[in-house]
Structure 1
């Protein structure tokens, strides 16, 4: 039987960041990925936004790791030459009645230590983004965008330079605790059993399934998984926006906000719907709802401007009717003190702002691993 110090299950942005941090701190690491490439699910199907940290409950793990991760991510991208841009974001109150929502973001941001937010009037908002119709806005200058594939490639390169190995097409089928560590049953073309001192379950949309396959894992400690799908439509002409634009009240169809990629392509989304599993099929019938939602703040959108883009699925811990940022949807990082299995750390619900938080999550998991050793 093969042996390894640490196994990280899942080669998305979170798993790669954790592997990078563990290996840089002298741990022997293997990354087990079920797919034939890294970052093929949530990490590749998102808005590629570097979030400021202004939407999360005070004291939440999401908020803490987002703010710390944002600062670390900007520094890392600059140092490593990874494509990114601090373009800023406008959160817009489409009507006067929406302006109190802007003040809520200011309060949430202040609770996380985000102090660069600025409330502006409709005239200044139009000066910044002439195509935006609003009654007022909140400017978040530290919001940005990043090349998520380039970022993951850099994380993987760092991990491999410190001796980590990536095993693709290596799904984890089961696990069992032993006095010497956790034995993982790994499938694929070359099935094997792997004895691991520490196992980090960072499998994203598969995290609940992996946890349930480990002998002795209490079912009551595995949170429910809801497949929250978001559609993105792209703008078929050059972007009229220079910043991200988010309307207030973003649940459901109203979450059709403006995001930009590093090439300047404008897209609108995501909306919010639910699937029964990992199903990325695009529901083109949502186009009419997108036109209606986007025209609330971008009235110059013309018929025919929207083209189907892509979909992404978040591993949500709360289902329909829940607020995206309530306490039930916080990140869960769970160790033996909570589930009773020595050496196992489970990560559940790592959705947005997981990309922004990735470097901070790596440090946080390293601390939890070190604590388990004492």
Structure 2
């Protein structure tokens, strides 16, 4: 049986960030990815936004890691040539009833150490963005956009330059703990068993499935597993906006918003579609009929959106820990003090702002591994 010091399960943006940080600490690292390429699920099916850390409850993991991760990510982009734009975003109220939510957002942001939000009158906001309609707005100057694929490739390159290996088409089918470490059963073209001193489950949508397959992890510590699909529509027109435009947040997400890609293209989304599982072969298809709801949502703040311009774009799935109607989830990161398995770190519910927070999450994982087991 092969032995390795550290295994990261999952080569999404957080798994790759963990591999980078752990390999740079002189660990021997292998990343096991079930798919045939890195970052093919949640990490590449999102809005590619660098979030400011505005919305999350005070002292939550999302708040802490988003704010710290944002600063680390901008620095990393500057030193590694990752394409990004600190374009800013407007959070807009479109009715007087929504205006009270803006003051609540400002207070949440201050609680999280985000002090740069600015109130704008309707006139000020619409002077910045002439295509916009709103009754009031907040400007978040530290929000940005990023090329997520370039970021993941940079994390992979850093990890590999320190000796890490990324192995695709290698699903983890199960595992068990024994006196030697954690023994993983790996499928694929060449099935094998691998014994690791440390294992980080960063499998995104599949983290709970992997955890349940490893004997020794108490099932009581594994959270619920729910899936919220977000659909995006695109248009061939160039964006009339220079900044991202977000409505007042919705319950399961941040509402159908306007984002801009690094080429200046315009996209709208995501919406909220709860799904039962991941088995549907057409899982990521976008139903063209959902466009009508998009027109209605977007025209609240972009009334000049023409008829017939929206086309199905892409979709992504948020790994949720609670069912529809529940309050917003936090990240769940469990070390041995929670599940009693030495050397094992389980990451659950790694949805937005996971990309922004990726470096901060990876450093937290490194810290947990350094604690007495």
Name the TM-score class by shorter chain.
Answer: over 0.9
Matches within 5 A, 1:32-111: 32-111=32-111
Provide the residue aligned with 1:176 in structure 2: 176
In the TM superposition, what whole-angstrom CA distance separates every residue of 1:151-177 from its partner, at most 9, and x where no partner exists?
Answer: 000000000001100111000001100
Does structure 1 retain, via aligned residues, the 8 Å contact 2:94–2:135? Answer: yes
Matches within 5 A, 1:1-374: 1-251=1-251, 255-278=255-278, 279-323=283-327, 326=328, 329-372=329-372
Structure 1 stretches of at least 4 aligned residues deviating more than 2 Å after TM superposition: 249-254
Measured after TM superposition, the shift of residue 105 of structure 1 is: 1.0
Distance in 1 separating the partners of 2:340 and 2:253: 41
Measured after TM superposition, the shift of residue 253 of structure 1 is: 9.6
Distance in 2 separating the partners of 1:212 and 1:189: 23
Distance in 2 separating the partners of 1:283 and 1:154: 34
Distance in 1 separating the partners of 2:310 and 2:87: 23
Does structure 1 retain, via aligned residues, the 8 Å contact 2:93–2:134? Answer: yes
Measured after TM superposition, the shift of residue 121 of structure 1 is: 0.2
SS in 1 for 2:42: coil
SS in 2 for 1:53: coil
Measured after TM superposition, the shift of residue 305 of structure 1 is: 1.5
Distance in 2 separating the partners of 1:253 and 1:27: 37
SS in 2 for 1:236: strand
In the TM superposition, what whole-angstrom CA distance separates every residue of 1:63-85 from its partner, at most 9, and x where no partner exists?
Answer: 00000000000010011110000
SS in 1 for 2:366: helix
5+ long unaligned stretches in structure 1: none
Distance in 2 separating the partners of 1:253 and 1:82: 27
Measured after TM superposition, the shift of residue 235 of structure 1 is: 2.2
Scaled by the length of structure 2, what TM-score is found? Answer: 0.97
Distance in 2 separating the partners of 1:217 and 1:256: 38
Scaled by the length of structure 1, what TM-score is found? Answer: 0.97
Measured after TM superposition, the shift of residue 217 of structure 1 is: 1.4
Distance in 2 separating the partners of 1:332 and 1:130: 41
Does structure 2 retain, via aligned residues, the 8 Å contact 1:254–1:293? Answer: no
SS in 2 for 1:297: coil
Measured after TM superposition, the shift of residue 95 of structure 1 is: 1.1
Distance in 1 separating the partners of 2:254 and 2:17: 32
Distance in 1 separating the partners of 2:344 and 2:238: 48
Distance in 2 separating the partners of 1:47 and 1:53: 15
Distance in 2 separating the partners of 1:158 and 1:136: 44
Cα distance, 1:359–1:252 mapped onto 2, change above 3 Å? closer
Measured after TM superposition, the shift of residue 365 of structure 1 is: 0.4
Does structure 1 retain, via aligned residues, the 8 Å contact 2:42–2:318? Answer: yes
SS in 2 for 1:237: strand
Does structure 1 retain, via aligned residues, the 8 Å contact 2:288–2:311? Answer: no
SS in 1 for 2:197: strand
Measured after TM superposition, the shift of residue 281 of structure 1 is: 2.0
Measured after TM superposition, the shift of residue 302 of structure 1 is: 1.0
Distance in 2 separating the partners of 1:267 and 1:101: 25
Distance in 1 separating the partners of 2:331 and 2:179: 29
SS in 2 for 1:152: helix
SS in 1 for 2:355: helix
Measured after TM superposition, the shift of residue 283 of structure 1 is: 1.7
SS in 1 for 2:237: coil
In the TM superposition, what whole-angstrom CA distance separates every residue of 1:198-257 from its partner, at most 9, and x where no partner exists?
Answer: 000000011001000000211111111111000001123111011000011434798111
